[in-house]
Amino acid sequence: MERFRKRFIFIISALLVTQLGGTLGFILIEHYPVFDAFYMTLITISTVGYGEVHPLSYAGRVFNSFLIFFGVTIMLLAVGGMTQAIIELELNQYFGKRRTKKMIDHLKDHYIVCGFGRVGRGAATELQRASAKFLVVDRSEDKVEWAMKLGMLAVLADATDDVTLREAGLLRAKGLIATLQSDADNLFVILSAKALKPSLLVSARIASEQSEKKMRLAGADYVFAPYDMTGNRMAQVMLKPHVSQFIDFTTKDIGLDVGIEQVRVSATCEFASKTLQQMQIRRDLGVIVLAIRKTDGRMLFNPPAEAEIEGGDFLIAMGESANLRRLEQMLTEVQK
């Protein structure tokens, strides 16, 4: 789009310069009134051929000859350039939409980010950093173009439309993040998404605290109020700076290769029904198990070495990214 904009500006500038040069030439050489000089230049470079506005002198005809040659050439180039730009733009949009649709059709277990404002952009950036599959949906052409420039898969559409959600692969999606501008729009998206796929994991942004209950009743699994969270975070930084710094170490990309992940224990892996002491995760991988979420929903914090893990449990572990990936591989490998 930027290339076409530059080409359009160049063509318009060339035409304006030619028109201005011709007008000034007829004023200085033939002493035409301003409008007559402008009109004479216009009918000359557009090849209309109405004839001379006033009889031209020898010098005027020489000047007009050069104006015809250069002016008509620039006009033809302008028409050709505009035609080429329009055809290229149409073709790019057509093939671009086909390519995007093909990529969306291949998505599975992905996330749909509805809205690419400040909150949606932050969510999409985090998903991109985690190498997760996701799709951005927004009604703003500028925001969709911005997302695509950042290397994200994005479509220009209305997220509140059921057809849009279906085409975004909602039935194959793992979760949806609703970050539209108004709470009403987010509520509508949640209702539509849950009606299409009740098991879908949904996270919603709210601008008003009064909307939280409505969002949860509509089916939102997680509800966030960005402004309240920001205020709380700012206070926590003052009260507990070292705790806040530790959280930043594990949740933000600030140069340290340390993170917190949830790893599901496969029922078929060799470590199912074993204790943490038997697994020796900390010794072999340098990974610390902060908590275990049991299959019945209980959360066991700071589990002892005797804690037994079972298939379906989730380990909340902290460590270097490479070691966390090794742990995930260990807990998902099928026992031979």
Fold of 2-102: Helix Hairpins (1.10.287)
Per-residue pLDDT reduced to its tens digit, 16-49? 888 888 889 888 888 888 898 888 888 888 777 6
Domain ranges of the chain: 2-102, 107-230, 240-332
Q: What is the assigned CATH class of domain 240-332?
A: alpha beta
Q: Residue 205: name the closest of 146, 250, 173, 159 by CA.
A: 159
Strands 258-264 and 299-301: unpaired
| Nearby residues of 197 by Cβ (< 8 Å), 6 or more positions away | 170, 171, 173
Q: Which of the residues in the chain have pLDDT under 70? A: 1-4, 49, 85, 88-98, 249-257, 334-336
CATH number of 107-230: 3.40.50.720
Same CATH topology for 2-102 and 107-230: the answer is no
> What is the value of pTM for the model shown?
0.60
Per-residue pLDDT reduced to its tens digit, 223-237? 988 777 777 777 877
